[in-house]
């Protein structure tokens, strides 16, 4: 009896699932694993708002070579389990399997890494996620695009050296740098490269972890004050950022000697910290602001038609919003690249993988799109799934972020050595062989799959 009821309930539920509208087959369907509630909801609203606005703009202008974009959002709450569920749910909605997945969360990236590989859907992690995936020989479907945490940390050191009057990282000799970080996979990612750099260039790194969520940091900043570092690298996310800026102000550490990771350098972080944030610097992909032609275009086309995704229009042009626009831009450019080879139609995950592996976005192309300076020149290949590795730095003047440097590049050789070792270890554990990138580039081998190592 009860069992019957359960069966009936199950049947009813599955009927509901089946009755859901499926995406149009002649549209390019994009899965959006978004988060608009929960601890990082505020950040998610800007990122996904920018991304959706860009796709709306592309559609308003006729789509990608005539192919319209459609998308569906699924709320992940920045929660790994929900992210997996959303990925699986949206995957079944169209033959594109979601085009490419940007989880905008390191945790979710890890959770779906294996699944995207099995499903042949590219997993794109712009500035977060599994960084050793830059080695495309072992990670055919994972793309930590633009730059990784390691390259960024290395570039930061160069930047600090320049701020302290030097030129290269080597000029940091004898200096002391404090590394205040979110004590998680995200915060620990750059530790290895910082240690290697400090051994190489003979400067000292003081590691100061902050436990999640990092709302109370007085103790850590007392530690900073005692250590008297020449500079502080601040590696936070979410609520930790504004709390850190306020704590720095409290102990009297100058914000002009603080540089943040790009997840610590948005209006969402500096505005709540009030005047205490003035002078603080952070890494970023490129310029931001409302004056960029592309952003203006979005306002004129999308918002004039009352189609915009942002409820709070003052956030248009903010750091995270611009980053969202870049997510859209990279998605569309990869589709376009793939279309140039496979024809002007809806692309599958495998075709997009090819598109991403041959993606080339330079300032000329960005200028055509009205987005000059929004990101560094990026050229992805089979062997290099990062494509650039450069970052620029920006400073908060109390009301907005201003660009203060050109693109800087860290010690690529050093970082690549570390990442390669990590990727090799992954391959050993997984018992896979590297792809032959020379053959892939020459086009003689199209397969984007790793062969298994022979059994012992």
Partner 1 sequence: MLYRETGQFKTTYAADQQIFPIRQDRIAIGLLLAVAFLGVPLVADQYWLSAILIPFLIFALATLGLNILTGYAGQLSLGSAAFMAVGAFGAYNFILRLDMPIIPAFLLGGLCAATVGILFGLPSLRIKGFYLAVATLAAQFFVVWGLTKFGWFSNYSSSGVITAQDMEIFGFPIDSPVSKYLLTLTIVSLLALMAKNMVRSNTGRSWMAVRDMDVAAEVIGIPLMKTKLLAFAVSSFYCGVAGALAAYCYLGTVEPDYFTLDLSFKILFMVIVGGVGSILGSFFGAAFIILLPIFLNIVLHPLFGLFGIDISTAIVSNMELMIFGGLIIFFLAVEPHGLARLWQIGKEKLRIWPFPH
- In the complex, the residues that contact partner 1 under the rule CB under 8 A are 1-3, 13, 16-17, 19-21, 34, 36-37, 41, 45, 73-75, 77, 80-82, 84-85, 87-89, 91-92, 106-107, 110-111, 113-115, 118, 130-131, 183-186, 188-189, 191-192, 212, 311, 418, 422, 425-426, 429-431
The encoded tokens of residue 313 equal 């229009």
Least Å from the CB of residue 453 to partner 1? 11
C-alpha 334: how far from chain center: 16
Least Å from the CB of residue 405 to partner 1? 27
User: Which CB sits closer to partner 1, 120 or 188?
Assistant: 188
Burial string for 102-113 (b: 16+ CB within 10 Å, else e) reads: bbbbbbbbbbbb
Say if residues 133 and 142 touch (Cβ distance below 8 Å). Answer: yes
The encoded tokens of residue 324 equal 């969202």
User: Which CB sits closer to partner 1, 41 or 166?
Assistant: 41
The encoded tokens of residue 132 equal 């050793």
Strand (E) positions, 5-150? Answer: 28-34, 69-75, 123-124, 142-143
Q: Give me the residues paired with residue 392 across strands.
A: 284
Cβ atoms < 10 Å from Cβ of 62: 10
Least Å from the CB of residue 27 to partner 1? 18
Least Å from the CB of residue 421 to partner 1? 9
Least Å from the CB of residue 244 to partner 1? 19
Residue with tokens 């996620």: 129
Say if residues 280 and 255 touch (Cβ distance below 8 Å). Answer: yes
Least Å from the CB of residue 199 to partner 1? 16
Longest dimension (CA), the chain: 80
User: Which CB sits closer to partner 1, 153 or 273?
Assistant: 153
Altogether, the residues listed in the chain come to a count of 456
Query: What backbone torsions phi and psi does residue 137 show, to the nearest 5 degrees?
Result: -65, -30
Q: Give me the residues paired with residue 49 across strands.
A: none
C-alpha 331: how far from chain center: 13
CA separation for the pair 427, 137 (Å, rounded): 10
Least Å from the CB of residue 373 to partner 1? 31
User: Which CB sits closer to partner 1, 312 or 397?
Assistant: 312
Helix (H, G, I), strand (E, B) or coil at 359: coil
User: Which CB sits closer to partner 1, 388 or 422?
Assistant: 422
User: Which CB sits closer to partner 1, 118 or 442?
Assistant: 118
User: Which CB sits closer to partner 1, 106 or 388?
Assistant: 106
């Amino acid at each position: 009896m009860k069992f019957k009821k359960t069966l009936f309930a199950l049947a009813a539920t599955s009927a509901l699932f089946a009755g859901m509208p499926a995406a149009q087959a002649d549209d390019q369907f994009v899965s959006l694993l978004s988060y608009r509630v929960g601890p990082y909801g505020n950040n998610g609203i800007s990122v996904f708002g920018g991304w959706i606005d860009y796709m709306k703009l592309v559609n308003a202008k006729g789509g990608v070579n005539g192919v319209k974009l459609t998308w569906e959002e699924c709320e992940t709450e920045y929660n790994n389990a929900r992210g997996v569920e959303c990925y699986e749910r949206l995957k079944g909605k169209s033959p594109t399997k979601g085009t490419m997945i940007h989880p905008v969360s390191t945790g979710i990236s890890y959770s779906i890494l294996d699944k995207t590989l099995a499903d042949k859907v590219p997993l794109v992690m712009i500035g977060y996620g599994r960084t050793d995936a830059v080695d495309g020989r072992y990670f055919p479907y994972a793309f930590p695009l633009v730059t990784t945490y390691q390259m960024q940390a290395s570039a930061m050191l160069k930047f600090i050296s320049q701020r302290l009057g030097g030129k290269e990282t080597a000029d940091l000799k004898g200096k002391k740098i404090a590394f205040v970080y979110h004590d998680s996979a995200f915060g620990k990612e750059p530790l290895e490269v910082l240690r290697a750099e400090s051994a190489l260039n003979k400067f000292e790194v003081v590691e100061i972890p902050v436990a999640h969520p990092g709302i109370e940091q007085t103790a850590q900043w007392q530690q900073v004050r005692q250590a008297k570092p020449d500079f502080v690298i601040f590696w936070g996310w979410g609520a930790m950022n504004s709390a850190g800026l306020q704590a720095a102000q409290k102990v009297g550490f100058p914000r002009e000697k603080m540089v943040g990771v790009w997840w610590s350098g948005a209006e969402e972080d500096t505005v709540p910290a009030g005047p205490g944030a003035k002078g603080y610097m952070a890494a970023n992909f490129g310029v931001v602001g409302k004056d960029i032609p592309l952003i203006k275009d979005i306002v004129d086309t999308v918002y004039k038609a009352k189609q915009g995704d942002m409820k709070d229009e003052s956030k248009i042009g903010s750091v995270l919003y611009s980053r969202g626009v870049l997510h859209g831009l990279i998605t569309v450019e990869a589709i376009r690249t793939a279309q140039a080879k496979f024809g002007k139609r809806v692309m599958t995950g495998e075709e997009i993988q090819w598109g991403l592996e041959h993606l080339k976005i330079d300032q000329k192309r960005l200028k055509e799109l009205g987005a000059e300076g929004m990101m560094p020149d990026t050229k992805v290949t089979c062997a290099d799934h990062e494509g650039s590795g450069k970052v620029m730095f920006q400073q908060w003047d109390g009301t907005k972020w201003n660009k203060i440097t050109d693109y800087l590049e860290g010690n690529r050789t050093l970082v690549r050595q570390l990442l390669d070792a990590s990727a090799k270890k992954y391959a050993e554990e997984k018992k896979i062989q590297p792809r032959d990138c020379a053959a892939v580039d020459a086009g003689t081998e199209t397969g984007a799959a790793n062969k298994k190592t022979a059994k012992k």
